[in-house]
């Protein structure tokens, strides 16, 4: 019998046969110890594998990889493309899925030939991402958007440095000069659940870790479809979100954070295809590395923005456990990147 089953049996016995609160207390202590063990393993694994990340041969020029819609994997994080984009963003590579989201977006843009001067890009739910600064440094014109501060109050995004209340939140002095940034980047409040009608003149649009916060599964999927209306024909939308990869049916369907299932992405692919759009891929494999089997548990470190480790803060590396897969309200989740090509006519 597994330890968890034994604990559950003890709890049910305690509740039915002999309602002695001490039994429950002992069982709960065991759960606490298991929790601690998981955290210890996460830190240990990340430290053990750190050298592997440092040793990746980082190409001097970006390469073509033709990524499709996919989940975060250890293999990706040990790839030359991941190392390349971390270096470009001046972020030290660590096994953290947030960095995968950044690198995935940049690699997709490069694959699609959209990381270049004159490209017009619109971001949704941008928070304090470095993306707009990086795009501007390539001569791209960028519209950074986020939810109005009145609507965002109480949701925790502003408190955890994850809300773009002004254009300043998008400025990264180490990536772009102030002059270029001011010339290339604009800011607007946009509700992802009510994208205003505006000219469809963007070559690409993106969101990172935002469409799972729109209220329910259907609102998230509708957002992906609606985001296409800001694009020119043939434009590309790239959105990363939560993927509950161990379940077929049971998930968080509504609330502050929802978790998408494979069937939701498959349904989205069909809806998009019915309107002449294309979801590239999707590839649902979640990897075969040891970190692909490791599910991190709370508390997580990124609330303090600590995953943005740079040359000045190398000591922070050891403060983060492996964090590719994690428990969100008891469901195993990882990131999934969606790449959609709008129909050409």
Ligand X SMILES: C[S@@+](CC[C@H](N)C(=O)[O-])C[C@H]1O[C@@H](n2cnc3c(N)ncnc32)[C@H](O)[C@@H]1O
Select the residue interacting with ligand X from 81, 85, 135, 157 (CB under 6 A).
157
Print the binding letters for residues 209-228 with ligand X: x by CB under 6 A, - otherwise: xx--xx--------------
Select the residue interacting with ligand X from 10, 23, 30, 191 (CB under 6 A).
191
Stretch that binds ligand X, among 25-33, 156-164, 172-180, 228-236 (CB under 6 A): 156-164
Name which of 49 and 338 has its Cβ closer to ligand X.
338
Stretch that binds ligand X, among 40-48, 205-213, 287-295, 315-323 (CB under 6 A): 205-213
Name which of 126 and 230 has its Cβ closer to ligand X.
126
Strands 202-208 and 120-124 turn out to be parallel
Least distance from ligand X to the Cβ atom of residue 209, Å: 4
Least distance from ligand X to the Cβ atom of residue 151, Å: 7
Structure tokens at 99: 């960095």
d(C-alpha 173, C-alpha 123), whole Å: 19
Select the residue interacting with ligand X from 129, 203, 242, 296 (CB under 6 A).
129
CA dist 235 → 48, 72, 184, 301 (Å): 42, 24, 20, 35
Cross-strand bridge partners of residue 18: none
Least distance from ligand X to the Cβ atom of residue 197, Å: 16
Write out the binding residues for ligand X, residues 158-187 only, by CB under 6 A: 162-163
Name which of 45 and 158 has its Cβ closer to ligand X.
158
d(C-alpha 253, C-alpha 167), whole Å: 33
Q: Is 125 in the site for ligand X (CB under 6 A)?
A: yes
* Phi, psi angles (nearest 5°) of residue 280: -70, 135
Cross-strand bridge partners of residue 244: 333
Query: How many helices and strands, by DSSP H and E, does the chain display?
Result: 10, 12
Contact 340/270 with Cβ under 8 angstroms? Answer: no
Least distance from ligand X to the Cβ atom of residue 143, Å: 13
Peptide bond preceding 165: is omega within 30 degrees of 0, i.e. cis?
Answer: no
Least distance from ligand X to the Cβ atom of residue 158, Å: 8
CA dist 163 → 69, 107, 151, 168, 196 (Å): 26, 24, 11, 11, 20
Contact 136/115 with Cβ under 8 angstroms? Answer: no
Q: Is 292 in the site for ligand X (CB under 6 A)?
A: no
Q: Is 337 in the site for ligand X (CB under 6 A)?
A: no
Q: Is 127 in the site for ligand X (CB under 6 A)?
A: yes
Least distance from ligand X to the Cβ atom of residue 241, Å: 10
SS3 330: coil
Least distance from ligand X to the Cβ atom of residue 155, Å: 7
SS3 334: strand
Name which of 137 and 193 has its Cβ closer to ligand X.
193
Stretch that binds ligand X, among 12-20, 145-153, 276-284, 288-296 (CB under 6 A): 145-153
Q: What is the 3-state secondary structure (H, E, C) of 183-251?
A: HHEEEEECCCCCCCCCCCCEEEEEEECCHHHCEEHHHHHHHHHHHHHHEEEEEEEEEEEEEECCCCCCC
Q: Is 238 in the site for ligand X (CB under 6 A)?
A: no
Q: Among 324, 339, 323, 327, which Cα is nearest to 247's? A: 327
Least distance from ligand X to the Cβ atom of residue 205, Å: 13
Least distance from ligand X to the Cβ atom of residue 40, Å: 27
Return the residue nearest ligand X (CB atom).
Answer: 127
The number of residues that bind ligand X (CB under 6 A) is 19
Residues forming contacts to ligand X in the complex (CB under 6 A) are 124-127, 129, 146-147, 152, 157, 162-163, 191-193, 208-210, 213-214
């Amino acid at each position: 019998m597994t330890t968890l089953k034994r604990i559950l049996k003890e709890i049910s016995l305690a509740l039915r046969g002999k309602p002695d609160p001490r039994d429950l207390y002992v069982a709960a202590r065991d759960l606490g110890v298991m929790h601690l063990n998981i955290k210890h393993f996460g830190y240990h694994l990340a430290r053990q594998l750190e050298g592997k990340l440092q040793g990746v041969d980082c190409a001097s020029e970006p390469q073509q990889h033709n990524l499709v819609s996919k989940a975060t994997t250890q293999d990706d994080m040990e790839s030359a493309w991941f190392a390349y984009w971390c270096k470009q963003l001046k972020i030290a590579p660590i096994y953290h899925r947030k960095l995968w989201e950044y690198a995935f977006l940049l690699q997709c843009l490069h694959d699609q030939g959209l990381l270049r001067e004159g490209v017009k890009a619109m971001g949704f739910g941008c928070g304090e991402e470095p993306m707009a600064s990086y795009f501007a440094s390539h001569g791209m014109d960028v519209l950074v958007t986020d939810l109005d501060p009145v609507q965002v109050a109480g949701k925790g995004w502003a408190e955890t440095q994850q809300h773009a209340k002004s254009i300043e939140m998008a400025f990264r002095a180490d990536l772009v000069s102030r002059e270029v940034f001011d010339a290339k980047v604009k800011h607007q409040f946009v509700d992802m659940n009510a994208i205003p009608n505006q000219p469809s003149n963007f070559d690409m649009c993106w969101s990172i870790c935002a469409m799972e916060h729109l209220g329910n599964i259907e609102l998230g999927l509708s957002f992906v479809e609606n985001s296409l209306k800001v694009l020119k024909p043939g434009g590309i939308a790239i959105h990363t979100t939560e993927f509950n990869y161990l379940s077929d049916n049971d998930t968080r369907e509504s609330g502050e954070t929802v978790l998408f299932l494979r069937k939701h992405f498959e349904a989205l692919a069909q809806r998009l295809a019915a309107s002449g759009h294309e979801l590239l891929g999707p590839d649902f494999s979640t990897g075969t590395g040891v970190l692909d089997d490791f599910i991190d548990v709370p508390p997580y470190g990124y609330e303090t923005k600590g995953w943005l480790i740079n040359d000045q803060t190398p000591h922070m590396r050891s403060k983060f456990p492996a964090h590719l897969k994690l428990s969100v309200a008891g469901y195993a989740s990882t990131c999934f990147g969606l790449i959609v090509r709008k129909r050409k006519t």
